[in-house]
Amino acid sequence: MKTFFTLFFPVLFQFAFGQTRISGKVTDAKGEVLPGVNITIKDSYDGTSTNAEGKFDFTTMETGQRILLVSFVGYAPVELPIHLEGKPVDLTVSLKELINQLDAVVISAGSFTAGEENRRTILKAVDIATTAGATADIAGALNTLPGTQKVGESGRLFVRGGDSNETRTFIDGMAVFNAYGPSAPNTPSRGRFLPFMFKGTSFSTGGYSAEYGQALSSALVLNSKDKAEMNQTDIGLLTVGSDVAHTQSWDKGSWTGKIQYTNIRPYYHLINQRIDWVDPFVAMEGNTAYRQRVGKDGMVKFYGNFSQTNFSLYSPNVADPALTQLQLYAINNVYRYGNLSYKQSLGNRWSMRGGISYNYNLNSLKINGSPEGENEKGTHSKIVFENSVSDKVELKLGGEVISRNYAAWKQVENPQQVVEQSFTETISSSFAEVEAYASDHFVVRGGARAEYNSLNHQAGVDPRFSVAYKPAEKGQFSFAYGRFRESAKNQFVRENNALNSEMAEHFILNYQIITNNRTFRVETYYKKYYDLVKFQYHGLDTTFQNTGNGFARGVEFFWRDNQTLKDVDYWISYSFLDTKRDYVNFPYSAIPSFASRHNFSFVYKYFIHPIRSQIGLTYSYSSSRRYFNPNVQEFNSNKTPYYEDLSANVSYLPKNWLIFYVSCTNLLSRNNIFGYQYSSTPDANGVYASRPIQQPAKHFLFVGVFITISKNKTVNQLPNL
């Protein structure tokens, strides 16, 4: 790796490019100057902000036909086509102020948004893909935000003392049942969906809208891109495979398709692994998006994802490492997801959106040659009506149906037969929500969600309430309360179909300041769990009941600044978590093994405009986690060492259409330990043998070359990296 950087950076800094000067002035509709307005060339690093006199001035090496994006909080963004050919460009731009919902107070308790220009955002859409250490994984980037815990052996989102299954992913409002790809035992999985397919992300750590259900802790809402404006072909050559994508655009629509092949086998010959692979990870994945405008303002969207994954490995025998090769674990995963949505204006005040999604996930396993597996498939349909009752009142009404079928099977030898367990569940829901602005300084949102579960015949109504107050021009307070429910895990419901939904109540209070290029946020919360599933062993029988409970409480800080240091954008997040649960097979209330008390992240991005490059650094720290050691009496009393990671990435553009990209995790080479695996029986001395659960390798090194073919030679894949 040292040789690579030695060769890479001299090349990186030897390029020089011709520059074009872009200057001008930005005012509001009344002609008053606007300081702090963001000026950027779309899909590039180049840009600046207006000064106290509303003026801006910067240079760029971009050429050809480009789009200049002018945006400012509380005003409608403006996109101006400009032609760059070395001659100075001088502009005067007038921004139109938006009414109420943008210039006024907004609901922010428990919510982070990214990439939505019509809202005050904490992250940009490009941040999801460019954060060092995230390896272009949505969950990896969001794990740098407060409220999340680093669980390195899982790689999934664990939010505010909640398990990973308590976060539900939605695409264009439609539910995703299996949002993560398969992984080997105690190794991290990745999200199935590529960041470049989405224009905006809403990550709610609690207190979210009544529109979203079946999630105890968090709702991750991904909004897919609208119609593409030009044809282009993208090619990626990667250390772990390759991909090719094509976009075809026409007058009122567009289509995008991407095929990605991943083969880890050559990479594992270069980077030593702690896993004894037989057949390393191989996957074929495809994504497609179809967009078609209908009438004056209607839009039909289709998003599809498919993948097939295979791998096998020897699972270590903790008690006797010499027997390792008798523990063979093999998996074949087949995944399909399709999402069809439609939105349409229904006059001056009403609008409608709706859709249907299909989910299919099949895991076929062989453990020591014995086949077993599980299959989940189902649909989610939804329709939502929204009405702008007045400039100060917004109304939302809707209903949805989630129907799914789950089956699990396992071959047993005595007597030799296949044992199957299955269930079919249909959840019908309706929701209503109203948001009212008493003034530009005070807003209230109230709503409720009603659900009925056909499997356990349980019905309930869950209230949601939020309020925000803005005493000054910049800072605001927000409070949110909500009750949430979610069906128990599949492996529990298949044992007892009558299990009720698990429940949680959220109480959230925050204070937030967002200026032009800085964000400060502090938030405290209390979360109460009840009706959690507990099980007890009675000889060969196990009973499952909704008798568990728990709590989570904490305080979180977030600071982002892309103004103080020239060409530098950074953010800092810290979370304090206090949580206990009495659930699953816990003998009493205890700290769950996935929870760490302190979590800290520092993300740093430096833009080098003369050579069109970006350098990123991410430092993450988590305090020790609890784990159960059967050799001691007290449950979950042992602690792991603290977690630490420093990751870096570099993006370099020698040509407008060509990108070199390299990233590496764990530059400090820390041996992070996430817990210990124990043998099922003690040895002759009554001691249970153990082995540490560690990262599959000390580092993950990724190198890629990305090529874009289009008529516009300035287009590239930079926003996707």
Domain end point (choices 95, 126, 159)? 95
Q: How many CB atoms lie within 10 A of CB 43?
A: 17
- Residue with the two structure tokens 């060509």: 658
- Is the CB of residue 484 less than 8 Å from the CB of residue 503? yes
The DSSP code for 142 is H
In this prediction, residue 143 has a pLDDT band, given cuts at 50, 70 and 90, of confident
Are 163 and 52 within one domain? no
Are 415 and 485 within one domain? yes
CA distances from 515 to 31, 35, 49, 105, 475 (A): 22, 11, 13, 13, 9
* Domains identified in the chain, total number: 2
At 2, list the tokens.
Answer: 């040292």
φ/ψ (deg, to 5) at 323: -95, 15
User: Which candidate, 504, 414, 404, 450, places its Cα nearest to that of 110?
Assistant: 504
Are 91 and 115 within one domain? no
φ/ψ (deg, to 5) at 186: 60, 30
Are 444 and 342 within one domain? yes
User: Which candidate, 584, 544, 427, 422, places its Cα nearest to that of 494?
Assistant: 422
151-157 average pLDDT score: 88
Q: Rounded to whole angstroms, how far apart are CA atoms 533 and 584? A: 6
103 in a domain, yes or no? no
Are 144 and 82 within one domain? no
Are 91 and 150 within one domain? no
Are 497 and 454 within one domain? yes
Say whether pLDDT at 688 is over 60.
yes
465 in a domain, yes or no? yes
Q: Which range is least confidently modeled, 138-147, 391-400, 591-600? A: 138-147
Q: Rounded to whole angstroms, how far apart are CA atoms 134 and 151? A: 13
108-129 average pLDDT score: 50
The DSSP code for 214 is S
Say whether pLDDT at 15 is over 80.
no
Q: Rounded to whole angstroms, how far apart are CA atoms 619 and 599? A: 11
Look at the alpha carbons of 536, 153, 241, 286 in this order and tell me if their dihedral is positive or negative. Answer: positive
105 in a domain, yes or no? no
67-79 average pLDDT score: 82
* Burial letters 54-75, b for 16+ CB under 10 A, else e: bebebbbbbbebbebbbbbbeb
CATH of the domain at 75: 2.60.40.10
- Residue with the two structure tokens 């179809």: 290
Q: How many CB atoms lie within 10 A of CB 657?
A: 19
CATH of the domain at 296: 2.40.170.20
pLDDT in tens, 225-259: 888 878 889 888 888 889 999 999 998 899 999 99
Q: Rounded to whole angstroms, how far apart are CA atoms 1 and 396? A: 54
pLDDT in tens, 327-372: 788 999 999 999 999 999 887 788 999 999 999 999 999 888 788 9
Q: Rounded to whole angstroms, how far apart are CA atoms 292 and 633? A: 63
Q: Rounded to whole angstroms, how far apart are CA atoms 590 and 423? A: 31
In this prediction, residue 375 has a pLDDT band, given cuts at 50, 70 and 90, of very high
Strands 638-639 and 643-655, sheet pairing: unpaired
φ/ψ (deg, to 5) at 457: 60, 35
At 216, list the tokens.
Answer: 């105890």
Strands 167-171 and 218-224, sheet pairing: parallel
Say whether pLDDT at 100 is over 50.
no
The helix/strand/coil state of 10 is: helix
688-698 average pLDDT score: 89
HSE-CB of 271 using CA atoms within 13 angstroms: 19
Query: 655 Cβ partners below 8 Å, 6+ apart?
Result: none
For the chain, state the CA radius of gyration.
26
Question: How many residues does the structure list for the chain?
Answer: 721
Q: Which range is least confidently modeled, 93-102, 142-151, 280-289, 467-476? A: 93-102
The one-letter code for the residue type at 366 is K
Q: How many CB atoms lie within 10 A of CB 565?
A: 11
Are 297 and 419 within one domain? yes
441 in a domain, yes or no? yes
User: Which candidate, 517, 476, 558, 564, places its Cα nearest to that of 103?
Assistant: 476
The DSSP code for 572 is E
Query: 322 Cβ partners below 8 Å, 6+ apart?
Result: none
The residue range of the domain holding 430 is 111-720
Kind plus residue range of the DSSP H or E element containing 49: strand 47-49
Q: How far is CA 388 from the centre of its chain?
A: 30
pLDDT in tens, 254-281: 999 999 999 988 888 788 888 888 888 8
- Is the CB of residue 500 less than 8 Å from the CB of residue 458? yes
Q: Rounded to whole angstroms, how far apart are CA atoms 522 and 509? A: 9
Is residue 585 classed exposed, middle or buried when 0-12, 13-18 and 19+ CB atoms within 10 A define those classes? Answer: exposed
Greater pLDDT, 720 or 411: 411
353 in a domain, yes or no? yes
101 in a domain, yes or no? no
User: Which candidate, 512, 436, 476, 434, places its Cα nearest to that of 113?
Assistant: 512
pLDDT at 2: 44
Average pLDDT score over the chain: 85
φ/ψ (deg, to 5) at 326: -95, -5
Q: Rounded to whole angstroms, how far apart are CA atoms 494 and 542? A: 12
Strands 658-664 and 643-655, sheet pairing: antiparallel
Are 359 and 410 within one domain? yes
Domain end point (choices 42, 68, 95)? 95
Are 468 and 604 within one domain? yes
Question: What would you measure as the largest C-alpha separation in the chain, in angstroms?
Answer: 86
Q: Rounded to whole angstroms, how far apart are CA atoms 380 and 400? A: 7
Say whether pLDDT at 324 is over 60.
no
Domain end point (choices 62, 95, 128)? 95
511-527 average pLDDT score: 89
User: Which candidate, 34, 15, 16, 14, places its Cα nearest to that of 24?
Assistant: 34
Are 120 and 91 within one domain? no
104 in a domain, yes or no? no
Please name every residue paired with 701 in a beta bridge, in sequence order, or none if there are none: 664
Kind plus residue range of the DSSP H or E element containing 11: helix 2-12
SS3 labels along 289-354: EEEEEECCCEEEEEEEEEEEEEEEEECCCCCCHHHHHHCEEEEEEEEEEEEEEEEEECCCCEEEEE
- Is the CB of residue 160 less than 8 Å from the CB of residue 599? no
User: Which candidate, 151, 155, 183, 362, places its Cα nearest to that of 277?
Assistant: 183
Say whether pLDDT at 8 is over 80.
no
Q: Which range is least confidently modeled, 79-93, 96-110, 491-505? A: 96-110
Are 119 and 52 within one domain? no
pLDDT in tens, 18-70: 588 999 999 988 788 888 788 988 877 788 888 878 899 988 888 888 899 99
